[in-house]
Amino acid sequence: MSLAIPNGLDNTVERPGERAPLVLGETTYHDITEAVCKVAERPPSKGWIGGFLVAFALLQVLGLLIVYLIYTGVGVWGNRAPIFWGWPIVNFVFWVGIGHAGTLISAILFLFRQEWRTSINRAAEAMTIFAVACAGTFPGIHVGRAWLAFWLAPYPSLNLWMWPQFRSPLLWDVFAVSTYGTVSLLFWYMGMVPDLATFRDRSKNKYRRMAYGILCLGWSGSSRHWMRYEKAYAILAALAAPLVLSVHTIVSFDFAVSQVPGWHTTIFPPYFVAGAIFSGFAMVLTLMVPARKMLNLEKLITIRHLENMCKIILATGSIVGLAYGTEFFIAWYGQVPAEQFAFLNRAFGPYAWAYWTMVSCNVISPQIFWFKKARTTPWIIVVVSIFVNIGMWFERFVIVISSLSRDYLPSAWAYFTPTWVDWGMLIGSFGLFFTLFLLFCRTLPVINMAEVKATLAKQEHMAHLHGHGEEASEGH
């Protein structure tokens, strides 16, 4: 890929007093419909089929390993005393974090009236749902008897005669993640209904028309419907915004409420949330940069969209870096020997390799986005966002493993080594994620057509006004 942006596709130039166009070229409403619907309507490309086969094979790996795990027991994992919270929790926190960007783009950017979100929010929300599905897998099978995981639910059990323990952060997690998954799903689906109606109306095939007809609930585009719909969307956004912040906060409580040195810190909630947004945006970029190219959506997902996300990555990456520094400062300032040891051990102990991988990927690599050239060059963006994903996985690894492997008692120290099952499940979870994402690309609208059209209408309206203004000034 060359560094040059194709002519007419550069909307990253700042023109004071004028909004940069979010939809490029001589695009009409129908062009948007065509561009998005074609992704799902034309036969799958070779690239898609290849990618799907690979992802689906990895998904099978995950499935088989889960069967193996449940049949044999959790001993097939590398979780041993004292590291009982090993790899699966690392994966869980990693995937929950990935999910955050979707809802953040949809909800918080919506509330701030950031219209550049419109062409990326659908895919980002889909990513959220799939990431939460991946995340939910791990705690689900991490309980020793996975087939009894439903005991976590507060239902009147005739066998147990007891209730769950609501003072435990682990149970808060159950509520937080399931609420997050449910609300994200509602938000995603609701946002998709008008576009599904477009799919229905374009369907030539009877069954296809029926399937989309059922999915879009008989949406007709009535203005009375739109009015309530927009109200409901705004309410859901307002509800989802604190939800996003709460979910990772509660996930961080799992650690912060414990007494383990390196975990027992009040910085965890904001630090985890910032990290989650950071990793989520990195995953959105990892997916969107190749997808916009392959699906020919460059006019809708413009370089400006990518640039804006890079700026968010730069900001959150710096917050994460600040958090790393603050942890060391507080360890020194707090004068708790166990805490001080935990942080020195992180940076210079047996897991120093993981710590410095994390720092170089999370803190150093995004700093390249200070340069506009880097922010607007797709291949650099992809490389950095993959680094960030790796770094954020390692962040969770460092927190979970290094603190547990060396806490208060040197007699209870051990080094964690993952087994092949651990590796297989991590890779397999990517299979689950990408399988779902590729299916989504083929069957559902990858871009929120209705909102992009509304953005285009506004853009045209503004241009129209501007044009009038020019005419008026000419006249005088």
204 touches other proteins by CB under 8 A: no
Smallest CA-to-CA distance from 125 within 110, 137, 141, 146 is with 110
Applying CB under 8 A, the span of 88-96, 226-234, 333-341, 467-475 interacting with other proteins comes to 226-234
Residues 457-476 that bind other proteins (CB under 8 A): 457, 461
Residue 90 contacts residue 77 (beta carbons within 8 Å): no
C-beta of residue 474 within 8 angstroms of C-beta of residue 71: no
Kindly state the smallest distance separating residue 360's Cβ from other proteins, in Å: 35
Q: Is 242 in the site for other proteins (CB under 8 A)?
A: yes
How far from chain centre, in Å, is Cα 201? 31
Which segments of 91-220 are extended strands (E)?
Answer: none
Is there a contact between 410 and 349 (Cβ–Cβ < 8 Å)?
no
Token representation of residue 267: 């910085």
Which amino acid belongs to residue 273? V
- Token readout for 149 is 């995981």
Closest CA to 303 of 20, 97, 35: 20
Q: Which of 21, 44, 82, 213 lies at the binding interface for other proteins (CB under 8 A)?
A: 213
Q: How far is the CB of 73 from other proteins (least distance, A)?
A: 9
Of 19, 38, 231, 372, which lies in the binding site for other proteins, with binding defined by CB under 8 A?
A: 231
By CB atoms closer than 10 A (0-12, 13-18, 19+), residue 94 is buried
The CA distances from residue 301 to 92, 293, 449, in Å, are: 30, 9, 12
Among 61, 183, 306, 447, binds other proteins (CB under 8 A): 183
User: Three-state DSSP class for 167?
Assistant: coil
The answer to whether residue 165 forms part of the interface with other proteins (CB under 8 A) is yes
CB of 12 to other proteins, least distance (A): 26
Residue 54: closest CA among 431, 474, 306: 431
Burial (CB count within 10 angstroms: exposed 0-12, middle 13-18, buried 19+), residue 115: middle
C-alpha span between 284 and 127 (Å, rounded): 8
Stretch that binds other proteins, among 186-194, 292-300, 395-403, 407-415 (CB under 8 A): 186-194
Q: Is 224 in the site for other proteins (CB under 8 A)?
A: yes
Of 212 and 416, CB closest to other proteins: 212
Contact between 179 and other proteins by CB under 8 A: the answer reads yes
Among 61, 123, 176, 374, binds other proteins (CB under 8 A): 176
Per rule CB under 8 A, is residue 154 in the interface with other proteins?
yes
Residue of 8, 25, 150, 228 that binds other proteins (CB under 8 A): 228
29 binds other proteins (CB under 8 A): yes
Contact pattern for other proteins over residues 34 through 53, marking x by CB under 8 A: --------------------
Per the CB < 8 A criterion, the answer to whether 305 and 366 are in contact is: no
Among the listed ranges 1-9, 103-111, 133-141, 194-202, the one in contact with other proteins (CB under 8 A) is 194-202
Q: Is 230 in the site for other proteins (CB under 8 A)?
A: yes
**149 in contact with other proteins (CB under 8 A):** no
Q: What residues contact residue 246 under an 8 Å CB cut-off, 6+ apart? A: 176
Residues forming the site for other proteins (CB under 8 A): 28-30, 33, 70-71, 145, 147, 154, 162-169, 171-172, 175-176, 179, 182-183, 186-187, 190, 194, 197-198, 200-202, 206-207, 210, 213-214, 217-232, 235-236, 239-240, 242-243, 246, 250, 253, 449-451, 453-454, 457, 461
